[in-house]
């Protein structure tokens, strides 16, 4: 049988890259298929090495909120490239993007650029520990905050999908300072403070959990974390690598009206290029070197080409607030359409949606916690994924991820996706 280009490329890739990929979720192990090697993308569509077109709901895991190959971003990068790729020195664009982020996002006065969401979270945790003099941190089971040692404890996303939510190679001495609570369960958080009085530097939370599928905060949950942090003298970190500049111009702080002490960013702020950032009040950020004793550095931090891409995307979002109403509206239409398809076919599917983020769970129960997500039928998700891929719909190849709606998804794309889901749900209901 003739192998597809993706199959041939995957065979080569597995010889030289662990699992044939540079990030585990891309290997399609949770769905048992050959990953599609992507050749190019434009608007809401991606094209694989065999020339097949897919409607893309991965959007590079969030960065491509304006769709792929947006002319404003492409032209900014083309211009920046002509001025040089990297200097390792301060540049005007770094100041421009930091000023714009501070203008768009509440409660931040200073920003530090890094190269990934992982680096942003790692640095934010160090800042919280340095500023409070405390060692322990609280995260939530099933939330994913990148792959720094402290965060690979009961992590979500492909850490959980791959069966290693608490990674090998993380020293027990490190892991002991990471305490885990249950998302949407304030009592589980207070209990940790009662057990470790005066020792907890911060709580880090995804304001919308988007690495266990999508689970929104119950009313009062984020407000409750703010109250506990104020009472216990700990800092509240919103990991907005996904929700930042996606839920609204001001991200989750604006969307939910809850103030974080430190905010981490990634994805959208790079416009598709490798960028992360962390931000807080001037008082907190002046703990960071060279002002203070919390050290963090990076060769390519603030890279001029990456800054050009991010600045172009954030500028567009700042000048076109209609993007947010449009992507949330399309996500609602998609979620409602899929719910109707599930009802019509009798498939046991729950669809969670928050802004332009959504995720199906194959369970009759509503999913408001990590336990709920973990008890959904992962085999059915894999079958659903395969059926949708065959129909030209490109989804996260694992349950514990999100669907991302971009500004380039049209009503027709939504209708096509709902119709594909209806066919696939009908098939699933037969088994």
Q: Compute the radius of gyration of the chain from its Cα atoms.
A: 21
Which residue of the set 48, 56, 185, 239 is catalytic?
239
Residues 6+ positions from 177 with CB-CB distance below 8 Å: 135, 136, 137, 150
Beta strands in 297-380 (DSSP E): 350-354, 357-361
CB of 58 to ligand KE4, least distance (A): 9
Question: x/- string (CB under 6 A) for ligand KE4, residues 141-180?
Answer: ---xxx----------xx----------------------
Show contacts with ligand KE4 in window 2-31 (CB under 6 A).
23, 25
Asked if residue 401 binds ligand KE4 (CB under 6 A), the reply is: yes
- Apex CA 398: angle with CA 394 and CA 399, to 5°? 110
Q: How many residues contact ligand KE4, by CB under 6 A?
A: 20
Establish whether 267 is a catalytic residue: yes
Asked if residue 61 binds ligand KE4 (CB under 6 A), the reply is: yes
CB of 279 to ligand KE4, least distance (A): 14
The residue at minimum Cβ distance from ligand KE4 is: 117
Residue 401's nearest CA partner among 379, 368, 373 is: 373
Residues 6+ positions from 172 with CB-CB distance below 8 Å: none
Which of 242/342 has CB closer to ligand KE4? Answer: 242
Establish whether 239 is a catalytic residue: yes
CB of 118 to ligand KE4, least distance (A): 3
- Apex CA 22: angle with CA 12 and CA 17, to 5°? 35
Which of 107/158 has CB closer to ligand KE4? Answer: 158
Tokens coding 407: 């500004």
Residues 6+ positions from 419 with CB-CB distance below 8 Å: none
Establish whether 96 is a catalytic residue: no
Q: Could you give the CA distance from residue 311 to residue 100 in angstroms, rounded to a whole number? A: 8
Find the part of the chain contacting ligand KE4 (CB under 6 A) among 116-124, 170-178, 327-335, 337-345. 116-124
Which of 276/360 has CB closer to ligand KE4? Answer: 276
Asked if residue 268 binds ligand KE4 (CB under 6 A), the reply is: no
Asked if residue 211 binds ligand KE4 (CB under 6 A), the reply is: yes
Which residues are paired to 280 by β-bridges?
110, 262
Asked if residue 241 binds ligand KE4 (CB under 6 A), the reply is: yes
Contact in structure between 166 and 175 (CB atoms under 8 Å) = yes
Q: Could you give the CA distance from residue 335 to residue 351 in angstroms, rounded to a whole number? A: 6
The residues carrying an active-site annotation are 144, 239, 267
Q: Which residues bind ligand KE4 (CB under 6 A)?
A: 23, 25, 61, 116-118, 121, 144-146, 157-158, 206, 211, 239, 241-242, 266, 276, 401
């Amino acid at each position: 049988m003739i192998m597809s280009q993706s199959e041939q490329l995957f065979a080569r890739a597995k010889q030289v890259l662990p699992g044939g990929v540079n990030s585990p979720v891309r290997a399609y192990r949770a769905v048992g298929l050959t990953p599609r090697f992507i050749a190019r993308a434009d608007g809401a569509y991606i094209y694989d090495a065999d020339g097949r077109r897919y409607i893309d709901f991965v959007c590079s895991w969030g960065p491509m909120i304006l769709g792929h190959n947006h002319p404003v971003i492409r032209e900014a990068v083309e211009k920046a490239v002509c001025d040089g790729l990297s200097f390792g020195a301060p540049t005007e664009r770094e100041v421009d993007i930091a000023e714009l982020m501070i203008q768009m996002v509440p409660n931040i006065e200073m920003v530090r650029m890094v190269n990934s969401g992982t680096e942003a979270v790692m640095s934010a945790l160090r800042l919280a520990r340095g500023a409070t003099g405390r060692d322990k941190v609280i995260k939530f089971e099933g939330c994913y905050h990148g792959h720094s040692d402290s965060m690979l404890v009961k992590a979500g996303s492909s850490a959980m999908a791959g069966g290693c939510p608490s990674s090998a190679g993380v020293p027990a001495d490190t892991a002991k300072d990471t305490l885990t609570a249950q998302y949407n369960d304030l009592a589980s958080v207070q209990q940790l403070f009662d057990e470790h009085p005066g020792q907890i530097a911060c709580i880090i939370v995804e304001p919308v959990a988007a690495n266990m599928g999508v689970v929104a905060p119950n009313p009062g949950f984020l407000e409750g974390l703010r109250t506990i942090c104020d009472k216990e003298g700990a800092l509240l970190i919103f990991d907005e690598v996904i929700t930042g500049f996606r839920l609204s111009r001001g991200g989750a702080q604006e969307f939910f009206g809850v103030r974080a002490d430190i905010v981490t960013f990634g994805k959208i702020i790079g416009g598709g290029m490798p960028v992360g950032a962390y931000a807080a009040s001037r008082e907190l950020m002046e703990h960071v070197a060279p002002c203070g004793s919390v050290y963090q550095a990076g060769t390519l931090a603030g890279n001029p080409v990456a800054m050009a891409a991010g600045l172009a995307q954030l500028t567009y979002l700042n000048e076109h607030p209609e993007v947010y109403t449009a992507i949330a509206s399309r996500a609602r239409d998609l979620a409602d359409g899929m719910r109707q398809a599930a009802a019509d076919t009798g498939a046991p599917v729950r669809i969670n949606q928050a802004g332009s983020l959504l995720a199906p769970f194959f369970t009759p129960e509503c999913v408001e916690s990590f336990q709920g997500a973990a008890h959904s039928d992962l085999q059915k998700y894999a079958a659903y994924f395969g059926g949708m891929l065959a129909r030209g719909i490109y989804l996260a190849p694992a349950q514990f991820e999100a669907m991302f709606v971009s500004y380039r998804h049209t009503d027709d794309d939504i209708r096509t996706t709902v119709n594909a889901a209806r066919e696939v749900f009908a098939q699933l209901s037969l088994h």
